[in-house]
Structure 1
Amino acid sequence: MNSELKHFLDNNYEKYNQPSFVAEDPISIPRQFTKKQDIEIAGLFAATLAWGQRKTIINKCNELIQMMDGSPHDFILNHQENDLKRFLSFKHRTFNPTDTLFFIDFLNHHYKRHQSLETAFTEDQTGDIETYLTNFHNSMFAMPDAPDRTRKHVSTPKRKSACKRLNMYLRWMVRKDKRGVDFGIWNTIDPTQLICPLDVHVERVARKLGLLQRKQTDWQAALELTNTLRQLDPLDPVKYDFALFGLGVMEKY
């Protein structure tokens, strides 16, 4: 791998993996919390709703958190049926009240049995990220009366999706550093296993830098990019998401 390219990406990783990055990014939503379960829940909604303009995403996520009385985990566990009526007005793009209420029901079911959402990815099976993402999808849609329409909001490699939003969520929960952006609160999944979130900005910059050759934007493309990044840092390949995203969004590279 070109040492000049590694130096360039390392510098931009250092530049963008900073607390100043948080304010205009959906990760600002879980960053409001210190309780592990609040971080997990707010993070899942923030990642799920992360498409469109970032300002709008953050506003809609804050609206959703307010509907949960500012305490996601407590609300998920202890809400009454009447409390759910307020969510009938919530919508972000194609994510509608049916989807919101199903997510709440799934999370209620999960947290009544588990201390962490990590187990929805890793319970009963260890493996690679493809396995963990498939586990999560299967766990959600094993729920009785799971609406078919919500499946499009929960990606899976089985549909050849690049799983951008869930890979971003896993980066938030798994990566461990002390830079004030990612949380690193999950321990079963190792940072070496993470797959780079492949959004339009990351994809564009990766292609321009010769890090990605595959024409389709799919699961195989996400794997290809991550395997290339592993040549730069085998222990923490997804740290370069900061560099690629920052170059794409902040610098229009």
Structure 2
Amino acid sequence: MNKQELKAFLDAKVEAYNQPGFIPNDPVCIPHEYTKKQDIEIAGFIAAVFAWGQRKTIINKSHEFLQLMGNEPHQFVLQYEEDDLKPFLDFKHRTFNSTDALYFLHFFRWFYERHESLEEAFIGNSEESSSMEKRLTHFFELFFSLPDHPIRTYKHIPNPARKSACKRINMFLRWMVRNDDKGVDFGIWKSIKQNELICPCDLHVDRVARKLGLIKRRQTNWQTAVELTENLKQLDPTDPVKYDFALFGLGVEEKY
């Protein structure tokens, strides 16, 4: 398949999967249950962090966590009292446990008492955050800047500096930043441009991208996600990450 044929093929798949019918069976359905910006951010962040394993389980566990917040996550993190945290002591999703849950809530309270939007956590100093790699490293350092943060929680917040492909955080950023008229992604963050996003490189996307010659690197890490995104920019320089829909759909729905 030459470049022109590949673009036509993937554009058709984007059209097929980037539409409202995609939402109900994907973790993106979780933030779609909210309308307040901060609720969308928190619910989306939780769903993205939980996004490993079966999609049905991810969705169920995200619902369970948000129900413990009274389904008003922004209000909860600003107003919770000590007794409100007790139900989280029994929460578990894969390796995410009560220690992680309590620290997430602690961070959200600290952050939203000082900032209007979680977007600000990814911006930092504009000079320091001139690339997505630096943005994500800045976010990791900010997230764990509070005293007595648990080291075990590091595994739930990916960091390019630790060689992670950062699949889940890149997916969350796609949800918040991409802006089109299809209704799946929210486009509520304006300080990060669409062409700055890095394609989420999960198992399915990785497999399909390799099959299509979009990835050459042997391992899957941050540089692999960058390589994939750079190749997708040759197909659409302004919105390369829209092809996440195509690659994921081909991998999961079509077993390509």
TM-score (norm 1): 0.99
> Does 1:239 find its partner at 2:237?
no
Unpaired runs of 5+ residues, structure 1, are none
Q: Which residue matches 1:192?
A: 195
* TM superposition shift of 1:129: 0.6
* TM superposition shift of 1:178: 1.4
1:147 & 1:22 partners in 2: Cα distance? 33
Deviations 1:32-67 (A, max 9, x none): 001000000000000000000000000000001110
1:75 & 1:193 partners in 2: Cα distance? 32
* TM superposition shift of 1:124: 2.3
Q: Which residue matches 1:145?
A: 148
1:218 & 1:13 partners in 2: Cα distance? 24
TM superposition outliers: structure 1 runs of 4+ over 2 Å: 123-126
1:52 & 1:37 partners in 2: Cα distance? 26
Q: For residue 3 of structure 1, what is the amino acid of its counterpart?
A: Q
Matches within 5 A, 1:164-203: 164-203=167-206
Q: Which residue matches 2:100?
A: 99
Q: For residue 66 of structure 1, what is the amino acid of its counterpart?
A: Q
Q: Which residue matches 1:64?
A: 65
* TM superposition shift of 1:88: 0.6
Deviations 1:109-156 (A, max 9, x none): 000000000111112234111111011100011111100000011010
Q: Which residue matches 1:74?
A: 75
1:123 & 1:30 partners in 2: Cα distance? 24
Q: Which residue matches 2:231?
A: 228
Q: For residue 233 of structure 2, what is the amino acid of its counterpart?
A: R
Q: For residue 245 of structure 2, what is the amino acid of its counterpart?
A: F
1:153 & 1:205 partners in 2: Cα distance? 25
* TM superposition shift of 1:81: 1.0
RMSD: 0.7
Q: Which residue matches 1:43?
A: 44
Q: Which of residues 153, 158, 170 is equivalent to 1:155? A: 158
2:66 & 2:181 partners in 1: Cα distance? 26
TM-score (norm 2): 0.98
1:85 & 1:98 partners in 2: Cα distance? 12
Unpaired runs of 5+ residues, structure 2, are none
2:12 & 2:35 partners in 1: Cα distance? 29
Q: Which residue matches 1:252?
A: 255
> Does 1:112 find its partner at 2:152?
no
